[in-house]
Amino acid sequence: MTTTSGSSAGACDVAYVLDAVGFFAGYQLTAPQKTYSVPEVINEVKDPESRKSLRLGISAGKVIIKDPSPESITKIKELAAELGELGRLSEADIKLLALTKEVGKACREVIVVSDDRSVQNVALALGAKAQGIKRRELRKARKYVYVCPSCGRVFSEPGTCPVCGAKLVRVRYSKALKNHD
């Protein structure tokens, strides 16, 4: 009859957080509700057609460009390290995920549009959904570790084995334990 009693003016139902590929796919115009991104990702949108549709999205109030707080960035780095993804994320990726975390506080559902599997993985671990454009997205968060193919030691970040100098191989954590594939 009247409005619901919810008081939060910032509350939303579904929000999209866009990696550059999301802008190329035109989500800033077609998404049913607001889309979010960080300045670093916006700067990756360079071709004239995508810039034009980005400007349209901004002037229509459908694109919100925000910098996440340093606290959110730190939390994302911790989570990414836990998942074995930290070495695979750019600064722009980390900021986009930190923004995802912040948007998630106000929105019932957050969908991160990205073809980057590491971005998708951290997004899923945050409780967001992942949407791929050119390739199918991950459905569940995964934990990765880095194994030395020579001595079998296990590390949480990519690089070379400090003991034998071999290049570390990335494997799913569950598979590392079972020692196959």
> Where on the chain is the footprint of Zn ion (CB under 5 A)?
148, 150-151, 161, 163-164
| Residue closer to Zn ion, measured from CB, 39 or 159 | 159
Q: Phi/psi at 163 (nearest 5 deg)?
A: -90, -50
| Residue closer to Zn ion, measured from CB, 108 or 167 | 167
| Residue closer to Zn ion, measured from CB, 96 or 176 | 176
Smallest distance from Zn ion to CB 84, Å? 17
Report CA-CA distances (Å) from 45 to 22, 92, 143.
10, 13, 30
Smallest distance from Zn ion to CB 144, Å? 17
Cβ–Cβ under 8 Å, residues 136 and 130: no
| Residue closer to Zn ion, measured from CB, 69 or 150 | 150
- 110's enclosing H/E stretch is strand 107-113
| Residue closer to Zn ion, measured from CB, 119 or 161 | 161
Which residue type, as a one-letter code, is found at position 27?
A: Y
Instruction: List b or e across 85-124, with b for residues whose CB sees 16 or more CB atoms inside 10 angstroms.
Output: bbbbbeebbbbbbbbbbbbbeebeebbbbbbbbbbbbbbb
Smallest distance from Zn ion to CB 158, Å? 14
Smallest distance from Zn ion to CB 176, Å? 14
Task: Please name the residue that has the structure tokens 């994302």.
Answer: 76
Smallest distance from Zn ion to CB 167, Å? 10
